[in-house]
Amino acid sequence: MTARELNFFYGAKQALYDINIDIAEKEVTAFIGPSGCGKSTFLRCLNRMNDYIDIARVDGTIKLGDQDIYDPSLDVVQLRALVGMVFQKPNPFPKSIYENVAYGPKIHGMCRNKDEMDQVVQSSLERAGLWNEVKDRLDQPGTGLSGGQQQRLCIARAIAVSPDVVLMDEPCSALDPIATAKIEELIDELRQNFTIVIVTHSMQQAARVSQRTAFFHLGVLVECGETEQVFTNPREEKTQAYITGRFG
Ligand SMILES: Nc1ncnc2c1ncn2[C@@H]1O[C@H](COP(=O)(O)OP(=O)(O)OP(=O)(O)O)[C@@H](O)[C@H]1O
C-alpha cells in the first residue's frame, strides 16, 4: 500500500500531516510514536475505518496496488476484506468459534458448500495457531476462549477472507506476556502470506516483530526505514530522542 500527501482532520483539528509512505508487501511494518501522535488514525485510514467518524475528513491518496481506496465507486466492504483488521481488545462475535471464522467467507460468497467452508475454517484456525486448541469445540462460543485465544480467533477471522493486508492496532495490549509471545510468533509466520501493519506502544515489540518501522510524532511521519536502522542508526534527531527515552 502507498499513501501520498495524506492529511487527516477530525473536524477542525488536523491529526495527520502530509503522510507519504510505501508499505512493503509480505513484511511487517510497525507504527511507533508517543500517545496521540496519529498512529491509530493513520492505521484506520488504510481500510477506511475512519469513515465511521462523522467529523473525519481525508485529503490525499492511499492506494492498494493500483486502486485508490478513497475512490467513491469503491466497495468498502470488499476493501475491508482485502485490508483486514485486528483490534486492541479481542472482539469475537457472540457466536460459535466456527461461525466467527465462517462469517466473512459466507458474506463474501467464497465457499460453494459446507465442505469448502469447513476447509477454510480449519486452515484459517491452523494459520492462526489455534486449531489444535479448538478443533473439538468449534460449536462453542468464541467469547468463552481465553484472551489470547480470542485474539488468535480474531486473526483467524481476518485471514479467512484471504486479505492482502492485515492491520493490527496494539493487538497484544490486553494480553499477558505468554499470550503476547504467541501472537508475536504468529505475526512472524503470517508475514509469509500477508502484508502486516502493527501499531504498538512497545518499542521492544516493534523491534522483535517488524522488518520496517515508521515513527510518528504530532501527526507527522518523522522517519520510516528498516527496523534495525531506525533503532540503531536513526536518520532524524527526533527519532533518536524517542528511542532513547528522552520523550514520549
Ligand atoms: N474520534 C476522534 N475525534 C476527535 N479527535 C480524535 C479522535 N480520535 C483521535 N483523535 C485525536 O487525534 C490525535 C491522534 O490520535 P490517535 O489515536 O491516532 O493517536 P495514537 O498515536 O494512536 O495514540 P495512542 O498511542 O494513545 O493510541 C489525538 O490528538 C487524538 O486526541
Cα–Cα nearest to 15, from 47, 59, 52, 51: 59
Alpha-carbon span 188 to 129, nearest angstrom? 12
Burial-class residue 176 by CB neighbours within 10 Å (0-12, 13-18, 19+). Answer: exposed
pLDDT of 248 > 80? The answer is: no
- Element holding 99 (H helix, E strand): helix 97-107
**Ligand 1-lining residues (CB < 6 angstroms):** 10, 13, 15, 33, 35-41, 53, 201
In 146-201 the beta strands, taken as DSSP E runs, fall at 165-169, 195-199
**pLDDT, tens digit, 9 for 90 and up, residues 78-105:** 999 999 999 999 999 999 999 999 999 9
Judge whether 90 and 37 are in contact, CB under 8 Å: no
CA distances to 59, 80, 171 from 207, in Å: 31, 27, 15
Candidates 9, 16, 41, 45: which one to mutate for ligand 1, based on the most atoms within 8 Å of Cβ? Answer: 41
* Domain residue ranges in the chain: 2-243
**CATH no. of 2-243:** 3.40.50.300
Q: Which atom of ligand 1 is nearest to the CA of 37?
A: 21
- ipTM score over 0.85, yes or no: yes
Global pTM reads 0.96
- Residue 86 near residue 158 (C-beta atoms within 8 A): yes
How confident is the model over 42-60, as pLDDT tens digits? Answer: 999 999 999 999 999 999 9
Report whether 123 contacts 159 (CB < 8 A): no
Distances (CA, A) of 234 to 131, 214, 216, 231: 41, 11, 13, 6
d(CA 88, CA 175): 9
Closest CA to ligand 1's atom 4: 10
